[in-house]
Structure 1
């Protein structure tokens, strides 16, 4: 049984990005979480978890009380000096909404209970700790808003920073994670890791390097003179000492990941009962381990989203069930639901196919997409396909990250989004000017004002992030065009911007007595 899809079935639709009854886009979700952690000023020495016996009270690094966070979330704010403007992001959450959002952070594996890592529910009296995934999200946010390295929070520079996230793009309109068969192909390949990740009592824990220090070392090696402070020479195992290690646990009911490179937990040489006979499977994995890896190591923020990707992989024939658990053809998040991958799929597993490389994947992807296309406008067509397929776009971004120039694809996609918002604003204004209905005119004007504010915020961010002389991002654009941009910025700086100008994005809280589902 391969689980391959038929020609008539379509892949299931992914759900939107919801947060316990209220909808919030991923950008605001990440920003609110990151600003909260920055504002809490977490340190390695935190309040102790109280015990009836004082000597058994424990202190957990980079932890905080939920009640403390709820209080802080009433007024979240971050100011970044970007040279031309001050970028100010601010949020205000009432008590109920703050607690609902903290529960979403908890469900998204950005936070966990350091005393009970299997705890699935967050309470108002809980003590929580930031996870490696949470640190990775925070680190990426700090870089995206232009924060200087020396100003980044202590936890980003700590040995909790060990997670390299697999990042999904989302639709700006539906907030759904974008996917294709090729993206799922890349994803399952990453999940299987470079070598089988099988638990053994003799296994040595994989070193988990501090990604901040690794990035700093690469930065210095790439500069005009080589610097080495010695900090990167610290033992990479320190992070493992700070965290308990469920990864190395023999338990098959709960696995927690602190780094993504090793891949998800696999089982070797298991025998299953199937239709009255014994079925031997060399390598398999549980639905629970699959979902746990996606929740710990990617930018998916709920188990339901992870289950949907399991369903997609079944649909595309990339994985198939070993045991029948629950409804046939339905992916199940359970420790007793076992799956394996389709070995007939070319280049799916790195360690079971000696020929598999990222280069092979890129080549095969482009060949598949180009077989039915004429050769004219080849470069233009290839670039369109690259952006259209989430899988190929993921590989392209990964390549640019290795070459230290990923800001080019980020700037391009953000400019495309800005162009789309600007078109919508123009369309609204045209309808506003044409209509004679006063009520409709007023509604269109309110919508246009909101969109105009968004446009202005995006323009100021793009200008300061990518095009200003003080920007840390150097785009690969024509020198003459860059000079023209600099001239326009200088010409309009006094007229439109000042050092005291602040563009604010607010996410207003609901009334504090509101009940949230």
Structure 2
């Protein structure tokens, strides 16, 4: 951070944290890594149980991708990590999660986005034989773009079924090619594929259903057989086009921040308020090396929400120890956001106005002071964060949104969203504008 006495001089503080844990805890964590498909057996054989002796483990492509994101966010630049990551990372489906509960967002639009990737970005992954389709090879989905393994023909109940896949293959794909961390999440997603009539059961695994009554819609086993429905094929082929309404409720992001609404600010409002569009937009931002803009925008939204809650609690019960602890926790969160996105040389440094960056540095390098002044400090920090958030919103609207909408990769999916219909009167203004602070505050 800048030296408070000399802002031109950077002072770096390093904290070293050492962890220790019991062997049973370490084994349990490694088992979770295995279940989340972050690690796999180095001998190429599929294993479900982590063993401590007689086995060698390695990171999966998914694990390497997760590591890459963690290192990028935290500014970790180690030679061995760079060598491990290399140049080719799988294109995982980065699922959206609820900020408070961490549960997956499973609105219909998001499920349809996942399903398109599930069937295959470059066409169905049809294997010539059933044995090839049902193999436990660890290298089937290394790129994240190859669709779920399907058998060209399979005998089921005396009939020949084309392009079918097992419940196990479906859960394997969802574990390997998306940011799911638990097989229960894959069962939830696959069940929604069925509920939305995108795939259907050819053969149920009734034995599994007896053992797990909650799995009556989808069974994640080799004995449950599924295939894509005509509606699912239409969705993948792009013939199932329909206008989709944004899930936005209440005031839009641009209105809340007093930003003039032109065509692209309205489009960005729609993207930010629709989980499926937000998922694709984040993917596009990652490809164009500016994902940090969306991450910062969302982090500040969550910070402001928690800050308001903590401040209300502290003002309601002044002097209460737990309320003051809540304020301190929010202040620590503010420093986390600052060090990740706003500090000079931060790992995800944002492109913001020089004066605003200096104002942030000056405020963040001041001593926090006594507990009684913390609330006022938080208000000042929140105000500066919101200024930075406004700047990032404007940048995404003017630069990233047009690139996203022009990308051939998302053309098929974006047909389902009538972006032109959201332009009021068909005569958008030419440029978004951030108004003066007084106007922004009154609108908010």
Residue 123 (structure 1) aligned with residue 65 (structure 2):
no
Offset at 1:347?
4.9
Residue 180 (structure 1) aligned with residue 104 (structure 2):
no
Residue 138 (structure 1) aligned with residue 23 (structure 2):
no
Offset at 1:151?
6.9
User: Which residue of 1 is the match for residue 276 of structure 2?
Assistant: 391
CA distances 1:38-57 after superposition (whole Å, capped 9, x unpaired): xxxxxxxxxxxxxxxxxxxx
Where 1:152 maps in the other structure, the secondary structure is helix
Offset at 1:321?
0.7
Change (3 A) 1:407 1:121: same
Distance 2:355 2:131 in 1: 58
User: Which residue of 2 is the match for residue 514 of structure 1?
Assistant: none
Residue 461 (structure 1) aligned with residue 336 (structure 2):
yes
Distance 1:383 1:171 in 2: 20
2:222 to 330, 335, 354: 335
Q: Is the 8 A contact 1:467 1:486 kept in 2?
A: no
CA distances 1:340-395 after superposition (whole Å, capped 9, x unpaired): 1222247522xxx2x57xxx97xx5xx32069999996866654442333211111
Q: Is the 8 A contact 2:201 2:226 kept in 1?
A: yes
User: Which residue of 2 is the match for residue 8 of structure 1?
Assistant: none
Where 1:120 maps in the other structure, the secondary structure is coil
Offset at 1:191?
1.2
User: Which residue of 1 is the match for residue 361 of structure 2?
Assistant: 489
User: Which residue of 1 is the match for residue 152 of structure 2?
Assistant: 268
Change (3 A) 1:399 1:488: closer
Q: Superposition pairs for residues 233-272 of structure 1, below 5 Å?
A: 250=132, 252-256=134-138, 257-272=141-156
Offset at 1:272?
2.4
The RMSD of aligned alpha carbons is 3.5
Which structure dedicates a bigger proportion of its chain to helix?
Answer: 2
1:471 to 337, 340, 346: 346
CA distances 1:6-60 after superposition (whole Å, capped 9, x unpaired): xxxxxxxxxxxxxxxxxxxxxxxxxxxxxxxxxxxxxxxxxxxxxxxxxxxxxxx
Distance 2:366 2:271 in 1: 40
Distance 1:304 1:293 in 2: 14
Q: Superposition pairs for residues 360-375 of structure 1, below 5 Å?
A: 364=242, 367-369=243-245
Q: Is the 8 A contact 1:255 1:265 kept in 2?
A: no
Q: Is the 8 A contact 1:255 1:289 kept in 2?
A: no
Residue 306 (structure 1) aligned with residue 186 (structure 2):
yes
Change (3 A) 1:466 1:87: farther
TM-score (norm 2): 0.67
CA distances 1:472-512 after superposition (whole Å, capped 9, x unpaired): 545355x3xx4123234146536469xxxxxxxxxxxxxxx
Q: Is the 8 A contact 2:72 2:347 kept in 1?
A: no
Distance 1:414 1:428 in 2: 21
Where 1:281 maps in the other structure, the secondary structure is strand
CA distances 1:155-202 after superposition (whole Å, capped 9, x unpaired): 223x8x54222111222322211221111111111011112212359x
